[in-house]
Amino acid sequence: MMRRVLWLETEHPMQLVLGLTIWSLWFVTAYGGLSVVCALAPPAPEQGALTGINLVLGGLTLVTLGFLAWMTQRCMAAARRKRGRLRYMSALAGGLYLFSTVSVAFVGLPLLMLPPCL
């Protein structure tokens, strides 16, 4: 039987910071990865926005988006089920996950439009 992992519960305070922490990690990875690639092996500017680094970072963005969206859905569903403090914490966590999801999508948008290293 699977043991219940306490901090994965939707009302755990961890959920209040996890979503935005994931956003931060994604952000740092995207910025750091881009900087390192541009410093070491910049792709030719002729390629436009369709370079390896854009694709890799885009893929990472999609994975992150997927996870955050799933957590949003979990927390929102839990918020509808629960009452009182548990409901409050789940709803708050859900809102924060939702914002993180949108943030990843929004900040990741330029990956589609811009060449990486100029």
Nearer to another protein by Cβ, of 2 and 109: the residue is: 109
Q: Which residues bind another protein (CB under 8 A)?
A: 13, 16-17, 20-21, 23-24, 27, 30-31, 34-36, 38-40, 45-46, 54, 85, 88-89, 91-92, 95-96, 99, 102-103, 106-107, 109-111, 113-118
Question: How many Å apart are CA 88 and CA 80, to the nearest integer?
Answer: 10
Smallest separation, CB 79 to another protein (Å): 10
Helices vs strands, H then E, count in the chain: 4, 0
Tell me the residue type at 68: L
Query: Nearer to another protein by C-beta: 5 or 113?
Result: 113
For 56-89, b where at least 16 C-beta lie within 10 A, e where not — what string?
A: ebeebbeebbebbbebbebbbebbeebeeeebeb
* Nearer residue to another protein within complex by CB, 1 or 72: 72
Q: Could you tell me the smallest distance in angstroms from the CB atom of residue 70 to another protein? A: 19
CA distances from 114 to 45, 51, 80, 108 (A): 10, 10, 41, 11
Q: How far is the CB of 2 from another protein (least distance, A)?
A: 24
Nearer to another protein, 17 or 77 (CB): 17
